[in-house]
Amino acid sequence: ELKVEQNPLFLSMQEGKNYTIYCNYSTTSDRLYWYRQDPGKSLESLFVLLSNGAVKQEGRLMASLDTKARLSTLHITAAVHDLSATYFCAVDPISNFGNEKLTFGTGTRLTIIP
Amino acid sequence: DGGITQSPKYLFRKEGQNVTLSCEQNLNHDAMYWYRQDPGQGLRLIYYSQIVNDFQKGDIAEGYSVSREKKESFPLTVTSAQKNPTAFYLCASRAGTSGYNEQFFGPGTRLTVL
């Protein structure tokens, strides 16, 4: 059974600081997705990482994928209050090719403190 | 505007009643999914469908049923057999069958059992 673990589960950080959220998964995959969820809202797609070494950046967020280590990171640079949300990673195992079933991590609740 | 719509936004059910949640997409996506999210938790897959007239059980299908008679529609019925249905329900869709496309999510339906 595929397991997807995120850490930390909760993160409070001051505005202007940098931090990294980690997503570890337990099976072979080269397809990893990051989503953002605001309280009471749906999920918004942030990044799609489809190969080893993939790096994507959007504003103050940068995501990377290391398929050999089975690890993805979401790095936050100079945090601002607008980034407060819950962030989920989701993994699609290689064995599911053509029959995608994502397994989601438990989420990281990020709170940016002024 | 292309997108995924879910209705109703809020739904209240008495114990013993079946209720049906609507999910419609006009993105011409092949695959559609239903997830359940409990407070402070990640997403768990209920059912998914890769093509019309075909669907598969996810991780927590007991007490739920679906149909896929049209490409754009994937309704979810929460039956009286589902003992703890209070949750946030999210519908998603994905283009193609290659396995390299992200899932897009609808706005969600919040179901409460009275």
Q: Which residues does chain A have within 8 Å of residue B102's beta carbon, measured at their own beta carbons?
A: 33, 45, 48
Q: What is the mean pLDDT of chain A?
A: 92
A44/B contact by beta carbon, under 8 A: yes
DSSP string, A17-59: --EEEEEEESS--S-EEEEEE-TTS-EEEEEEE-STT-EEEET
Mean per-residue pLDDT, B25-32: 93
| Beta carbons within 8 Å of A104's beta carbon, 6+ residues apart | A4, A88, A89, A90, B42, B43, B44
Q: Residue B72: phi, psi to the nearest 5? A: -90, -5
**What does the pLDDT look like over B70-97, one tens digit per residue?**
999 999 999 988 889 999 999 999 987 6
A contact residues 60-99, partner B, Cβ 8 Å cutoff: 88, 90, 92, 96-99
Q: Tell me how far apart the alpha carbons of residues A35 and A86 are, in angstroms, rounded to a whole number.
A: 8
Residues 11-40 (B) with a CB less than 8 A from some CB of A: 31
Count CA within 13 A, CB hemisphere, residue B19. Answer: 21
Interchain pair A98, B105: CB under 8 A? no
Please choose, from the candidates A112, A103, A87, the residue with its C-alpha nearest in 3D space to the C-alpha of residue A36.
A87
pLDDT of residue A92: 85
Task: Name the region of B96 (left: φ>0; alpha: ψ -120 to 50; beta: rest).
Answer: left
Q: How far is A15 from chain B (nearest CA, A)?
A: 24
At residue B98 the predicted structure's pLDDT band, cuts being 50, 70 and 90, is low
For residue range B32-75, list pLDDT tens digits in order: 999 999 988 889 999 999 899 999 999 999 999 999 999 999 99
Q: How far apart are the first and last CA of chain A?
A: 41
Nearest chain B residue (CA) to A109: B40
* Among candidate residues B82, B15, B14, B97, the one with its CA nearest the CA of residue B50: B97
What is the dihedral sign for C-alpha B110, B104, A52, A60?
Answer: negative
pLDDT band at A1 (very low <50, low <70, confident <90, very high): confident
DSSP state of B108: -
Cα–Cα distance for residue pair B14/A55, rounded to 1 Å: 48
